């Protein structure tokens, strides 16, 4: 396995590459990096595939974007990476946040995606529950209270407290640019994209996922017509870390099925 860097639009992108054969492009989740997919990458590469796992901009060893990107910009950087690496057509695997990017890329460029694999994928904007609604009402009240100039400096701290209450730890830990990016990302609902996807798709989900509950797996299955669903019973949000061998076996079966 090799680790390399490439300059795309003045942004340094770090990626790992292993194996020879049909290409698989792995897109990691928010807060992760290519490091978290090393074991799956090794297994798939050992079975006759060229496996590329980049660090998204702002994660791992790739530099933070210069401005607050959304899904569109992340799709663009993945497409340019694939072009620079000579990947005309590839299997696309997206986990969590990476699933969002995989969904939009497949929707806009279906000709480039041989098969699509969505692993505990984000992309559907959940309807706010009572707890979330109550918190955002309090946020609006808080914004009004903290509007005087001498109180404005407290806004970020208060916002972090509210996000902590909602268990949005990724937001609280992020730097200022990445906080803007995560707000952009979370505001996008890709439900309509799913309906238009005709590529053969594997949806694989950990049944014990608390971050993106398994109920969304069934919504994905319903919306993507040419899809199959595999539930991993004792697994949470990160099958690639919890059971990499089992996940790889599921992926390989899907790739070899006609």
What are the catalytic residues?
96
Half-sphere exposure of 64 (CA within 13 A, CB side): 13
The tokens for 42 are 């090794």
In which element (H, E) is residue 179 found?
A: helix 176-186
Of 43, 62, 52, whose CA–CA distance to 18 is shortest?
52
d(CA 160, CA 237): 23
- Asked if 186 and 126 touch (Cβ cutoff 8 Å), the reply is no
Query: How many other C-beta atoms can be found within 10 angstroms of the C-beta atom of residue 132?
Result: 13
Q: Which phi and psi angles does 209 have, rounded to 5°?
A: -65, 120
Tell me the backbone φ, ψ of residue 122, rounded to 5 degrees: -85, 175
Residues forming beta bridges with residue 153, ordered by sequence position:
none
- With tokens 């050992």, the residue in question is 46
The tokens for 212 are 């993106």
């Amino acid at each position: 396995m090799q680790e390399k860097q490439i300059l795309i639009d003045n942004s340094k992108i770090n990626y790992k590459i292993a194996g020879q054969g049909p290409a698989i492009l792995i897109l990691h989740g928010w807060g992760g990096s290519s490091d978290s997919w090393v074991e799956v990458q090794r297994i798939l590469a050992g079975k006759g595939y060229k496996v590329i796992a980049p660090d998204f901009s702002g994660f791992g060893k790739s530099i933070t974007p210069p401005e607050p990107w959304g899904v569109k910009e992340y799709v663009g950087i993945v497409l340019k990476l694939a072009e620079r690496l000579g990947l005309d057509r590839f299997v696309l695997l997206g986990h969590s946040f990476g699933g969002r990017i995989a969904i939009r890329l497949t929707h806009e460029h279906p000709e480039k995606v041989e098969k699509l694999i969505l692993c505990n994928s984000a992309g559907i904007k959940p309807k706010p529950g009572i707890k979330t609604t109550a918190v955002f009402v309090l946020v609006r009240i808080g914004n009004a209270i903290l509007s005087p100039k001498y109180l404005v400096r407290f806004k970020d701290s208060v916002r972090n407290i509210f996000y902590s209450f909602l268990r949005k730890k990724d937001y609280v830990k992020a730097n200022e640019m990445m906080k803007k990016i995560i707000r952009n990302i979370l505001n996008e609902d890709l439900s309509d994209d799913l309906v238009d996807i005709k590529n053969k798709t594997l949806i694989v989900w950990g049944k014990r996922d608390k971050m993106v509950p398994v109920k969304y797996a069934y919504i994905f299955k319903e919306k993507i017509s040419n899809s199959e669903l595999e539930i991993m019973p004792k697994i949470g949000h990160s099958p690639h870390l919890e059971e990499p061998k089992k996940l790889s076996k599921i992926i390989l079966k899907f790739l070899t099925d006609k």
